[in-house]
Amino acid sequence: MTALVAEGVFGRCVPPESKYAITTNLRGWDNAVKLRDGDKVVISQIVHIYPRFGPFQDVKLLFGALAGKLQLAEGLSLLAFTDPGVFQMIAKHVTSPHRREPIVSLEELQLHVVDVADIRLYVAVFPAAKTPGVIGAWMNPGIGLSIRLSEYLLSQIDTFTLVKSVSTTEAPPQGSFLPETADHAKLRERISGLLHRASVDPEKIRVTPDDVYLYPTGMAAIYTTHSQLVAHRPGTVVILGIAFPSTIQLLLETSPHGYKHFGPVDSAGLDVFESWLGEEAAQGRDVTYVLVEFPSNPLLASVDLRRIQALSRKFGFFFVIDETVGSFANIDVLPYCDLIVTSLAKTFSGYANVMGGSAALNPLAPRHAELRKLWDTRFHNEVFRGDAAVLLANSDSYLERTAVHNTNAGTMAAYLAAQTRDLDPSSPVLRVRYPTQMPDYNVFASFLRRPAEELPEPGGGCLLTVDFVTTVAAKAFYEALQFYHGPHLGAPKTLALCYVELVFNRNPEDAEYHRGYGLLRESVRISAGLEEVGDLVKTLEVALEAARKVVSS
């Protein structure tokens, strides 16, 4: 066993180098805080990062080229999309009562429809100094341009044509949308096949490729699902447990009849949720849908999906499961909901070089025909052909990689769980969060797929979180931990991140609220990679010793 050494340049991708990389080498706890708080020095060093966080690489170059073609005045910036609905979305975003300074007024927005080669783009122009007031429209719905699409558009920029400039109240002219290829069809077939594979009860799986819809990101799958359901069945939108901040912010701002969050998802927490449902029903107020991550990121909690399914039938809401963390290679949850949403950029793709998302409808759900009609009427493709090809090729090794992720994450979790303070009073480790180490593991285990030759032992996935006794101990562990530091999960390399500090701790009130159900600042999230498991454990040993020293002193 040899302790790993994380090499590479700050702000660039985790090796190997690629212009399409969606990871970043963000070493150091304090650097994560600086990035969160918008430190210009840190941001200026970022070359590669998760594309939803902002326009980098060829996306940034394309936006510069579009600005030149539009002859924008100095001090103006832009964002470009392929979805014609984006203009209305941006107008609502910048005027939302949830916006903080700087505020972009509708009068400051310029909206242009342009064609580059065979692609129609919807371009929003705004004061560059007010970018923080509009960038959420890129980050939260996840419908921005991909790196490969931007690369293609850059090569065709001389075909630029301004189709029309419109106002915020005017419907923009629609184009033909991104064309689909054989790879799109093969992706849908692969996902459908994986949902059938080693099912707990094959009689409960009837999904076909026509029930699978592809999106440019996992957040785009959530955004589209949300937009369609709230228009179809007006009512309150609910998140049970934790969800990614972009999801929370999106639902908070775009739920016309209200958004409700329930943090605890154990039996007592679901009792509270059920009582609330009864009160809402008594007042004649509908619930549109309930969204659950299974298990949740980063708490790794597994909610009782069967109980929520029963409640959805009783109270009439749609039930949506984001199973990205558990991964449909491991878990079989589609029979218990109306649809699942997945970030295909994570373990499905597995090589951290492409974005993608999907939604799969459950044909055995009571309102499947209703949902199929809704999706088929409104769906249009926004997955670029180059991205579809890479997703398909990468996913050839999905099951093989999943087996390694399960082993590596499970072994690391077991090692750390043997070091916790309840076993060793001097330990800096408070608890380990991983499905096999959680009190609700029996819930998670009941949804595991059957063992099969291609995946002999379905498991808990790649993600675990370590809670420490103090923030000082967590920082000491993190600084000494020679895994690559940065966002993302399901990559070939093991990644670590002070996740709660980065994404939930900017606003003290929000941080205190989420802490109330277990989201601790003094924690480190780890996404297992494909390295030798002994080397991973040895690397943890070194970091744990650094944390022990600060606790003992």
Give per-residue pLDDT as tens, 268-282. 999 999 999 999 999
Mean pLDDT of the region 530-548: 99
Please give the model's pTM, rounded to 2 decimal places.
0.97
Among 391, 350, 356, 486, smallest CA distance to 12 is for 486
More confident residue, 170 or 300: 300
Q: Which helix (H) or strand (E) holds 89?
A: helix 86-94
Phi-psi region of 28 (alpha: psi -120 to 50; beta: other; left: phi over 0): left
CB atoms within 10 A of CB 271: 12
CB atoms within 10 A of CB 472: 15
Mean pLDDT of the region 63-88: 97
Task: Report how far residue 547's alpha carbon sits from residue 466's, in angstroms, rounded to the nearest whole number.
Answer: 12
Mean pLDDT of the region 326-342: 99
pLDDT at 98: 85
Task: Report how far residue 199's alpha carbon sits from residue 203's, in angstroms, rounded to the nearest whole number.
Answer: 9
Cβ atoms 347, 327 nearer than 8 A = yes
More confident residue, 372 or 97: 372
Domain ranges in the chain are: 50-166, 182-396, 397-552
Mean pLDDT of the region 367-395: 98
Amino acid identity, residue 81?
A: F
Task: Report how far residue 326's alpha carbon sits from residue 361's, in angstroms, rounded to the nearest whole number.
Answer: 18
* Burial zone of 365 (CB within 10 Å; 0-12 exposed, 13-18 middle, 19+ buried): buried
> Residues 409-448: pLDDT tens digits?
999 999 999 999 999 999 999 999 999 999 999 999 999 9
pLDDT at 121: 98
pLDDT bracket for residue 100 (50, 70, 90): confident
Q: Is the pLDDT of residue 176 over 90?
A: no
CB atoms within 10 A of CB 253: 17
Cβ atoms 427, 466 nearer than 8 A = no
pLDDT bracket for residue 200 (50, 70, 90): very high
Topology match between the domains 182-396 and 397-552 = no
Cβ atoms 358, 342 nearer than 8 A = yes
Mean pLDDT of the region 290-314: 99
Q: Which residues pair with 79 in a beta bridge?
A: 124
Q: Is the pLDDT of residue 101 over 90?
A: no
pLDDT at 542: 98
pLDDT at 553: 78
Average pLDDT score over the chain: 97
Task: Report how far residue 59's alpha carbon sits from residue 303's, in angstroms, rounded to the nearest whole number.
Answer: 38
Cβ atoms 368, 361 nearer than 8 A = yes
> Residues 110-165: pLDDT tens digits?
999 999 999 999 999 999 999 999 999 999 999 999 999 999 999 999 999 999 99
How would you classify the pairing of strands 287-293 and 318-322?
Answer: parallel
Task: Report how far residue 338's alpha carbon sits from residue 374's, in angstroms, rounded to the nearest whole number.
Answer: 13
Per this entry, what is the length of the chain?
A: 553
Q: Is the pLDDT of residue 342 over 90?
A: yes
Mean pLDDT of the region 485-512: 96
pLDDT at 99: 87
Among 359, 306, 365, smallest CA distance to 328 is for 359
Task: Report how far residue 526's alpha carbon sits from residue 250's, in angstroms, rounded to the nearest whole number.
Answer: 26
Amino acid identity, residue 21?
A: A
Q: Which two tokens stand for residue 44?
A: 């200026």
Task: Report how far residue 240's alpha carbon sits from residue 249's, in angstroms, rounded to the nearest whole number.
Answer: 15
Task: Report how far residue 485's alpha carbon sits from residue 495's, in angstroms, rounded to the nearest whole number.
Answer: 6
Cβ atoms 297, 523 nearer than 8 A = no
Q: Is the pLDDT of residue 97 over 90?
A: no
- In this structure, what DSSP letter does residue 435 have? G
For the chain, what percent of residues have pLDDT higher than 70? 100
Task: Report how far residue 68's alpha carbon sits from residue 72's, in angstroms, rounded to the nearest whole number.
Answer: 6
3-class secondary structure, 6: coil
Q: Is the pLDDT of residue 390 over 90?
A: yes
* Burial zone of 125 (CB within 10 Å; 0-12 exposed, 13-18 middle, 19+ buried): buried
Dihedral sign, Cα of residue 102, residue 106, residue 108, residue 109: positive
Task: Report how far residue 35's alpha carbon sits from residue 46's, in angstroms, rounded to the nearest whole number.
Answer: 10
The hierarchical CATH code for the domain 397-552 is 3.90.1150.10
pLDDT at 530: 99
Mean pLDDT of the region 170-177: 91
Amino acid identity, residue 542?
A: V
The hierarchical CATH code for the domain 182-396 is 3.40.640.10
Mean pLDDT of the region 310-329: 98
